[in-house]
């Protein structure tokens, strides 16, 4: 069956899935967790094929690290599904309950989006997270992973599809894996059936999708995150946070790429950077070069997501210069201030235009699981529908339900009756 026909089937299944009980959706997640553990050896074996191919192609170490599936990672994936099953139901939540007239009641209720297409990077565990979030929120999903994870994604999707269908016919035709680039182009033309596209990948990929489809697109292109050390700061705490935000896992979108330091803190902070992060290649502006002997930063470095052990460092004259710099050069993802001055923190957090703004903590906390969302399908830096880590709530929309007892508009339009508009 071709891609169009399969997509039509998923669209039809999404209507039925929207009415499946909370208990049944959770049952699928728990069965998936068990299936991952049962099929551990088979999954690891298929993943080895991808790792061997990646080695032959000499892919970047960061990419290979994200590609690998170990027994420990499979256990984490299974535990993640079980944690997701423990979260409250995102569907059926009433955010408005209003009487318009006696016996005429309006409610706004959360419902699934429908059929979602997700294009994601080399991490095959992302496939499991995304599928879990979609099922929990009552959405059907089309998945497209990177070609470097072809065998891993194929075995994982086969297990999830088979296990879900065994739970109930309601979960038949609610997940589909596509594998080729040509299929992406074909999917982008199916705006009649796909309700939302979520790309997780390079800036070029996200822009390509946004420019070549009528389907609404949610996501982010770059993860250019900043940490700013204010003139009032705790040195030990600040250095520890800078190291964690850069080094704990540099290949992800919430790791910092630029460190901004107030001129009054510059000498003390910058001079210690080579000691606290010797594995990091530091690039600096002209002021930074006064304190450490590193390679000069180019103009393009301020707009670069390295995803590696590279950090650009810049000295700023004021808090307001830092805020302006972040709003110009950042990607509206995650930015943080390190300060002991509460007023400075308030100004920073109010004026930095990013989906997550932090004070005195690592930017690596900007994550759906760490925010308590169970997991995430990605980070949204836009300002429509969902923003920041997109978990269950971000995969729902709402409907208005109006229930009456025979009311007609004419007496209201003629001024014979007035609306009560009373919140219940």
Q: What is the CATH number of the domain that holds 392?
A: 3.40.605.10
The secondary structure element, H or E, covering residue 6 is helix 3-17
Q: Which pLDDT belongs to residue 380?
A: 85
Q: Which pLDDT belongs to residue 50?
A: 93
Q: For residue 424, what are its two tokens?
A: 């219940």
Question: Within this chain, do residues 44 and 119 fall inside the same structural domain, yes or no?
Answer: yes
Q: Position of tokens 């929207």?
A: 18
33 within domain boundaries: yes
421 within domain boundaries: no
Final residue of a structural domain among 365, 390, 413 = 365
Listed residue (335, 69, 378, 50) closest to 196, CA to CA: 378
Sign of the Cα pseudo-torsion (203, 8, 394, 146, in order): negative
Question: Within this chain, do residues 133 and 277 fall inside the same structural domain, yes or no?
Answer: no
Final residue of a structural domain among 339, 365, 391 = 365
Question: Within this chain, do residues 52 and 95 fall inside the same structural domain, yes or no?
Answer: yes
412 within domain boundaries: no
- Kindly report the CATH number assigned to the domain that includes residue 245: 3.40.309.10
Q: How far lies 138's CA from each of 107, 222, 408, in Å?
A: 20, 29, 34
208 within domain boundaries: yes
Can you list the alpha helix ranges (DSSP code H) found in 18-124?
22-38, 40-56, 61-67, 71-85
Output the tens digit of pLDDT for each of the chain's 424 residues: 589 999 999 999 999 999 999 999 999 999 999 999 999 999 999 999 999 998 888 887 767 878 999 999 999 999 999 999 999 999 999 999 999 999 999 999 999 999 999 998 768 999 999 999 999 999 999 999 988 999 999 999 999 999 999 999 999 999 999 998 889 999 999 999 999 999 887 777 888 888 999 999 987 768 899 999 999 999 999 999 999 999 999 988 899 999 999 999 999 999 999 999 999 999 999 999 999 999 999 999 999 999 899 999 999 999 999 999 999 999 999 999 999 999 999 999 999 999 999 999 999 999 988 998 877 887 888 777 788 888 898 999 999 999 999 999 999 999 999 999 999 9
What one-character-per-residue DSSP string does 185-233 give? HHHHT-TTT--EEEE-S-HHHHHHHHHS-SS-B---S---EEEEE-SS-
- Number of domains within the chain: 2
For residue 252, the 8-state DSSP code is S
Question: Within this chain, do residues 204 and 338 fall inside the same structural domain, yes or no?
Answer: no
Final residue of a structural domain among 313, 339, 365 = 365
Question: Within this chain, do residues 245 and 353 fall inside the same structural domain, yes or no?
Answer: yes
Question: Within this chain, do residues 9 and 126 fall inside the same structural domain, yes or no?
Answer: yes
416 within domain boundaries: no
Q: Which pLDDT belongs to residue 204?
A: 77
CA distance 297 to 270: 15
Question: Within this chain, do residues 211 and 332 fall inside the same structural domain, yes or no?
Answer: no
406 within domain boundaries: no
For residue 89, the 8-state DSSP code is P
pLDDT one-digit tens code per residue, 330-341: 999 999 999 999
190 within domain boundaries: yes
Angle at 262 between CA 257 and CA 263, to 5 degrees: 125
Within 10 A of 87 (CB to CB), how many other CB atoms are there? 16
Q: How far lies 320's CA from each of 139, 262, 351, 354, in Å?
A: 43, 10, 9, 15
414 within domain boundaries: no
Question: Within this chain, do residues 140 and 245 fall inside the same structural domain, yes or no?
Answer: no
Listed residue (88, 89, 105, 87) closest to 97, CA to CA: 105
Give exposure, 296-323, as e/b (b: 16+ Cβ within 10 Å): ebeeebbbbbbbbbbbbbbbbeebebbb
Question: Within this chain, do residues 386 and 277 fall inside the same structural domain, yes or no?
Answer: no
Question: Within this chain, do residues 99 and 199 fall inside the same structural domain, yes or no?
Answer: yes
Question: Within this chain, do residues 98 and 172 fall inside the same structural domain, yes or no?
Answer: yes
Question: Within this chain, do residues 214 and 231 fall inside the same structural domain, yes or no?
Answer: no
Q: How far apart are the two ends of the chain, measured CA to CA in Å?
A: 50
Domain that holds residue 269: 225-365
């Amino acid at each position: 069956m071709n891609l169009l026909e399969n997509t039509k089937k998923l669209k039809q299944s999404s209507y039925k899935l929207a009415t499946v009980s909370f208990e049944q959706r959770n049952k699928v997640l728990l069965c998936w967790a068990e299936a991952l553990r049962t099929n551990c050896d088979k999954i690891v074996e298929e993943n080895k094929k991808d790792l061997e191919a990646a080695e032959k192609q000499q892919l970047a170490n960061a990419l290979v690290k994200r590609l690998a599936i170990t027994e420990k990672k499979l256990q984490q994936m299974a535990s993640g599904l079980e944690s997701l099953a423990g979260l409250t139901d995102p569907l059926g939540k009433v955010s408005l309950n209003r009487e318009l007239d006696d016996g005429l009641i309006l409610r706004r209720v959360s419902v699934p989006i429908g059929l979602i297409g997700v294009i994601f990077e080399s991490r095959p565990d992302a496939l499991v997270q995304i599928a879990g979030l979609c099922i929990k929120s009552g959405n059907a999903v089309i998945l497209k992973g990177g070609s470097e994870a072809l065998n891993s994604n194929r075995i994982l999707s086969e297990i999830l599809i088979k296990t879900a269908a065994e739970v109930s016919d309601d979960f038949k035709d609610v997940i589909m894996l596509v594998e080729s680039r040509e299929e992406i182009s074909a999917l982008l033309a199916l705006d009649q059936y796909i309700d939302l596209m979520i790309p997780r990948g390079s800036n070029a990929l996200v822009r390509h999708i946004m420019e070549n489809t009528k389907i609404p697109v949610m996501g982010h292109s770059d993860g250019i995150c900043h940490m700013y050390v204010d003139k009032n700061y705790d040195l030990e705490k600040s250095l520890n946070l800078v190291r964690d935000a850069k080094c704990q896992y540099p290949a992800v979108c919430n790791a910092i790429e630029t460190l901004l330091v107030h001129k009054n803190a510059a000498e003390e902070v910058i001079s210690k950077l080579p000691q606290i992060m010797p594995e990091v290649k530091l690039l600096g502006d002209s002021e930074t070069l006064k304190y450490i002997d590193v390679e000069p930063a180019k103009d393009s470095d301020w707009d670069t997501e390295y995803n590696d052990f590279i950090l650009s460092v810049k000295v700023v004259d004021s808090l307001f210069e830092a805020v302006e710099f972040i709003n110009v050069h950042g990607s509206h993802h995650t930015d943080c201030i390190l300060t002991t001055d509460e007023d400075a923190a308030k100004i920073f957090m109010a004026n930095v235009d990013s989906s997550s703004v932090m004070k005195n903590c690592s930017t690596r906390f900007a994550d759906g699981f760490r925010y308590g969302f169970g997991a995430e399908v990605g980070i949204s830096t836009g300002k429509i529908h969902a923003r920041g880590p997109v978990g269950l709530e971000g995969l729902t929309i709402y409907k208005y339900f109006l229930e009456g007892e025979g009311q007609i508009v004419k007496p209201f339009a003629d001024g014979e009756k007035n609306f009560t508009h009373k919140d219940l």
